[in-house]
Amino acid sequence: MEGIKEVVFLSGKGGAGKTSILGGIYSLMNGKKAVVDCDVDAANLFLILGGQVKEEKPFYGSKKAEIRRDKCKECGLCKDICSFGAINEFLMVDPILCEGCGGCFVFCPHSAVSLEEKRAGTIYIGETKRGDLFLYAELFPGEENSGKLVQALREEARKRAKEMGFSLILMDGSPGIGCPVISSVAGVDLMVALCEPQSSSIHDLLRLLELSEHFRIKTALVINKSDVNPWLSEKLKRIAEEKGLPLLGEIPYDPLITEAQREGKTIVEYSRDSKSSKALQRVYERFSKILEELR
Amino acid sequence: MRIAFASGKGGTGKTTLAVNMAYLFSLSGFKVEFLDLDVEEPDGHIFLKPQIESIVSVKVFIPLFDKERCTFCQKCVQACSFHAIFMLGKDILLFQELCHSCKLCLRICEEKAIKEGEREVGVVRIGKVDSSLSFIEGRLNVREPRPMPVIEAVKSHCKGGDVQIIDAPPGTACPFVRSVYDSDFVVLVTEPTPFGLHDLEKCVSFLKSIKRPFGLVINKERGKFPPLEEYISQNQILVLGRIQEDLRIAKALSEGKILLNEFPEYRAHLEEIFSNLKRAIHGRN
């Protein structure tokens, strides 16, 4: 991208502190930037950064089959060829199982099937409290296409950031390593991986790192709640060293992060003197240095 | 009886609750199957430490193109709703990650130039913890975007014991839905924060839309969070129990220990959740 740097915060395991830490770093940064919440099926960043939504755009996902009763001759061909088991014995389509391939639509001898594009969510474009460009989306529960929605969000963010002359896009990602994560990682300049000193969090981080290595994404590590298990924190540092990942820092467990969230604030806005804010300050300094070094 | 543990937000304690409830069911004489359907990041094994007895590859259909027979009519390219097939001059290409294995291309090709191929997208690991607690885990291969075939493969390996405990993936999109869709009861695990509540509301609205009974466990509680309490009373949500935030729990879990065995003082809490859960399920049957 012409001069626009994209950074994504990911963790593999959910609840490792992606949103809170991104929020804290955001509060420490100067200069105009765009912020995007790519966790489209559980978007939370607006709860601590949110200012105003200025624009809403509908998002259309996959198509869904519908059988027209007036034309249907009940031959059952559609049910037999459906690869997703989405058509039952009464020839009713289950929209949750239908993936919209169109097989029934193509092969119905009586043209009784229609394929309708269904609205699958909403893209919100607005500003943070501090006046930065802010984009997020809500995918309707149960929808597929979270990856497609993440792509749409990122395109919109890049377009607007370019128009407004911003050079940085900060992105909050989803847990996991599947479709929405792959869409949020593709082509970014830097991944900030968060991990807790916890067997399951480390297990999930290693799978995430396999993904970032495959996409050759530069990755830096933050250890969250590092004091909960110092021994595993040391192990994480060794992993970072072996893999050549810069360690941005360690953030201690701090109950004030939850208090800040309950007030709709980032931890830095809530208490600049908290132990986690002080640790975030150090993380932020290393983070800015790495950003500068990115070409 | 199939019980799914889900949450919307990640890291609220789904796996912790699912593992402990699986133990309590097996200790009460039930044959239990633990199904890890969080196939992107399966963590149940860290706590249950099962002995893995077999590993089964999960394969999905992909089209194989016979370039001798292909007349480059483009019918398959146009029919593919997922834009997975590309034709470049006299070459035909499949973008594997985009393919949903619907087989429409196979059926639409009049020249019979497409054959059935397959590729691996993940594995199912099957084993047991002890004689009354068996373990089935789905594990999506790294770089694969679509978890659904692996989720379905785990379900297909169920032998159908008395109780199946499902550890569902976070989020509210299709992997969550597929994991809870054929469950008889869903246990939602939340934490008393704005993030937890926001994602809980999405899960609840979905479960209500499919009329699935559910109950709620509030984990990591540190003083009441009034918006959550209001939401619970306004929507008449069944609360199965509450677990306090406790750094000792966090440390024990970080080492893959099981709450039930580690802290006698929490055993009573878990047993209460267990009996509330049994009562809730019984009441609905």
Q: What is the pLDDT of residues B27-50, one digit of tens each?
A: 999 999 999 999 999 999 999 999
Is B194 an 8 Å CB contact of chain A? yes
Residues A19, A132 within the same domain: yes
Q: Cβ of A15 and B254 within 8 Å?
A: no
Q: Which residues of A touch B173 (CB under 8 A)?
A: 40-41, 139, 141-144, 146, 180
Q: Which two tokens stand for residue A207?
A: 């799978």
Using CA atoms, how far apart are residues B67 and B113, in angstroms rounded to an integer? 7
CA distance to partner chain B, nearest, from residue A177 (Å): 6
CA distance to partner chain A, nearest, from residue B143 (Å): 6
Residues A100, A221 within the same domain: no
B113, B112, B120: which is closest to B92 by C-alpha? Answer: B113
Q: Is the dihedral of CA A174, A176, A180, A185 positive or negative?
A: positive
Q: Which two tokens stand for residue A245?
A: 């990942």
pLDDT tens profile B84-93: 999 988 889 9
Radius of gyration in angstroms for the set of CA atoms belonging to chain A, rounded to a whole number = 22
Inter-axis angle of helices A275-293 and A18-28, nearest 10: 80
Q: Which residues of A touch B181 (CB under 8 A)?
A: 96
Torsion of CA B110, B116, B120, B124, to 10 degrees: 120
Between positions 242 and 271 of B, the ones with CB within 8 A of A are: 245, 247, 250-251, 253-256
Of residues B38, B103, B145, nearest to A182 (C-beta):
B145
pLDDT at position A143, please?
86
Residues A175, A252 within the same domain: yes
pLDDT tens profile A180-211: 999 999 999 999 999 999 999 999 999 999 99
Q: Quote the DSSP letter at residue B50.
A: P
- Name which of B58, B80, B174 to mutate to probe chain A: the one with the most chain A Cβ atoms within 10 A of its Cβ: B174
Q: Which two tokens stand for residue A180?
A: 């929405």
Using CA atoms, how far apart are residues B109 and B107, in angstroms rounded to an integer? 6
Amino acid at B190: T
Residue ranges of alpha helices (H) inside A227-274 are 230-243, 256-262, 267-270
Specify the fold of B2-58+131-284.
Answer: Rossmann fold (3.40.50)
pLDDT at position A3, please?
84
pLDDT tens profile B219-228: 999 889 999 9
Mean pLDDT within B196-209: 96
Q: Report the number of secondary-structure helices (H) and strands (E) in chain B.
A: 11, 11
Using CA atoms, how far apart are residues A31 and B33, in angstroms rounded to an integer? 53
Question: CB atoms < 10 A from the CB of A92, how many?
Answer: 13
pLDDT at position B271, please?
96
Mean pLDDT within A3-10: 95
Using CA atoms, how far apart are residues B72 and B111, in angstroms rounded to an integer? 10
Last residue of a domain, one of A119, A137, A160: A119
Q: Cβ of B205 and A141 within 8 Å?
A: yes
The end-to-end CA distance of chain A, in Å, is: 11
Last residue of a domain, one of A119, A139, A157: A119
Q: Cβ of B81 and A102 within 8 Å?
A: yes
Q: Which residues of B touch A143 (CB under 8 A)?
A: 173-174
Between positions 4 and 63 of B, the ones with CB within 8 A of A are: 8-12, 15, 38, 40-41, 43, 46, 61
Residues A180, A36 within the same domain: yes
pLDDT at position A142, please?
83
Using CA atoms, how far apart are residues A171 and B223, in angstroms rounded to an integer? 32
Residue range of the domain that includes A70? 62-119
Mean pLDDT within B114-141: 97
Q: Which two tokens stand for residue A262?
A: 């309950």
Is B203 an 8 Å CB contact of chain A? yes
Task: Give the confidence band of B125 by pLDDT, cuts at 50, 70, 90.
Answer: very high
- Name which of B140, B172, B253 to mutate to probe chain A: the one with the most chain A Cβ atoms within 10 A of its Cβ: B172
Question: CB atoms < 10 A from the CB of B236, how many?
Answer: 6
Of residues B104, B175, B250, nearest to A178 (C-beta):
B175
Q: With a cut of 50, say whether residue A37 has pLDDT above it.
A: yes
Q: The domain spanning residue A88 has which CATH number?
A: 3.30.70.20
Q: Which two tokens stand for residue A240?
A: 């970072």
pLDDT tens profile B235-253: 999 999 999 999 999 999 9
Q: Cβ of A180 and B206 within 8 Å?
A: no
C-beta of residue A260 within 8 angstroms of C-beta of residue A271: yes
pLDDT tens profile A132-163: 999 999 999 888 889 999 999 999 999 999 99
Mean pLDDT within B115-128: 97
Q: Which residues does B263 contact at the CB level (< 8 Å), separation at least 6? A: B248, B249, B252
Q: Which two tokens stand for residue B139?
A: 């594990």
Of residues B10, B193, B198, nearest to A13 (C-beta):
B10
pLDDT at position A67, please?
96
Question: CB atoms < 10 A from the CB of A71, how many?
Answer: 12
What's the length of chain A? 295
Q: What is the mean pLDDT of chain B?
A: 95
pLDDT at position A295, please?
67
C-beta of residue B13 within 8 angstroms of C-beta of residue B141: no
Find tokens 């249907």 and name the residue.
A72
Of residues B173, B206, B254, nearest to A199 (C-beta):
B254
Buried b (16+ CB within 10 A) or exposed e, B74-96: ebbbebbbbebbeeeeeebebee
Q: What is the mean pLDDT of chain A?
A: 95
- Name which of A41, A206, A209 to mutate to probe chain B: the one with the most chain B Cβ atoms within 10 A of its Cβ: A41
Residues A91, A190 within the same domain: no
Q: The domain spanning residue A208 has which CATH number?
A: 3.40.50.300
ipTM: 0.94
Q: Cβ of B198 and A99 within 8 Å?
A: no
Residue B227 backbone dihedrals phi, psi, to 5 degrees: -60, -35
Residues A77, A47 within the same domain: no
Q: With a cut of 80, say whether residue B263 has pLDDT above it.
A: yes
Q: With a cut of 60, say whether residue B285 has pLDDT above it.
A: no
Q: Where are the domains of chain B?
A: 2-58+131-284, 67-112
* Distance of alpha carbon B181 from the chain centroid: 10
Q: Which residues does B137 contact at the CB level (< 8 Å), separation at least 6? A: B35, B36, B39, B42, B44, B45, B124, B125, B126, B154
Q: Cβ of A261 and B195 within 8 Å?
A: yes
Q: Which residues does B229 contact at the CB level (< 8 Å), separation at least 6? A: none
Q: Quote the DSSP letter at residue A21.
A: H
CA distance to partner chain B, nearest, from residue A20 (Å): 10
Residues A198, A87 within the same domain: no
Query: Helix, strand, coil % (nearest 5) of chain B?
Result: 35, 30, 35
Q: With a cut of 50, say whether residue A1 has pLDDT above it.
A: no
Residues A66, A55 within the same domain: no
Residues A157, A235 within the same domain: yes
Q: Cβ of A42 and B9 within 8 Å?
A: yes
Q: With a cut of 90, say whether residue B161 has pLDDT above it.
A: no
Q: With a cut of 90, say whether residue A62 has pLDDT above it.
A: no
Q: Which residue has the higher pLDDT, A255 or A61?
A: A255
pLDDT at position A61, please?
86
Using CA atoms, how far apart are residues A33 and A169, in angstroms rounded to an integer? 6
C-beta of residue B41 within 8 angstroms of C-beta of residue A207: yes
Q: Which two tokens stand for residue B216?
A: 């709620």
| Secondary structure class of B237 (helix, strand, coil) | coil
Please tell me the total count of domains within chain A.
2
Q: What percent of chain B has pLDDT over 90?
A: 94
Chain A CA closest to residue B150: A178
What's the length of chain B? 285
Q: Cβ of B202 and A106 within 8 Å?
A: no
Using CA atoms, how far apart are residues B246 and B248, in angstroms rounded to an integer? 5
Mean pLDDT within B163-192: 96
Q: What angle do CA B157, B17, B133 make, to 5 degrees?
A: 40
Of residues B41, B194, B255, nearest to A176 (C-beta):
B41
Task: Give the confidence band of B82 by pLDDT, cuts at 50, 70, 90.
Answer: very high
Residues A180, A236 within the same domain: yes
Using CA atoms, how far apart are residues A248 and A221, in angstroms rounded to an integer? 6
CA distances from B221 to A242, B51, B140 (A): 37, 34, 33
CATH 3.30.70, applies to B67-112:
yes
Q: With a cut of 90, say whether residue B114 has pLDDT above it.
A: yes
Using CA atoms, how far apart are residues A275 and A266, in angstroms rounded to an integer? 14
Q: What percent of chain B has pLDDT over 70?
A: 99
Residues A81, A199 within the same domain: no
Q: Which two tokens stand for residue A185?
A: 């990682």
Residues A202, A56 within the same domain: yes
Task: Give the confidence band of A12 by pLDDT, cuts at 50, 70, 90.
Answer: very high
Torsion of CA B21, B25, B31, B33, to 10 degrees: -10
Of residues A13, A182, A261, nearest to B193 (C-beta):
A261
Q: Cβ of A41 and B11 within 8 Å?
A: no
